[in-house]
Amino acid sequence: MNAMAEAMKITYRELSVTLRERLRERLERAAQLRCAEHSQPVVAVTIHGRENGWFDSVWTTCCTTLETQAGAIVKSRC
């Protein structure tokens, strides 16, 4: 884990501690992504909890390519 990976800001909204724990490894991987085009990491993500382990993720990234990559890692269900 490098220092840059710690820089991604994660905000949780109505997400249980259990689901946060389950998501942690996936979010760490998303934090290590770098955009192939802009060499930027993911800036921030907000996770909105829903019912039955589902959640919505809202990403702040340099472009949709990186957002798609990050979303594919984290997916939308714990």
Q: Look-up: residue for tokens 């990559």?
A: 69
Cα angle 52-55-58, degrees, rounded to a multiple of 5: 175
The span of 4-12, 25-33, 46-54, 62-70 binding Zn ion (CB under 5 A) equals 62-70
Out of 7, 44, 58, 63, the residue judged to bind Zn ion by CB under 5 A: 63
| Contact map string, positions 10 to 49, toward Zn ion, x by CB under 5 A | -------------------------x-xx-----------
Binding site for Zn ion (CB under 5 A): 35, 37-38, 62-63, 66
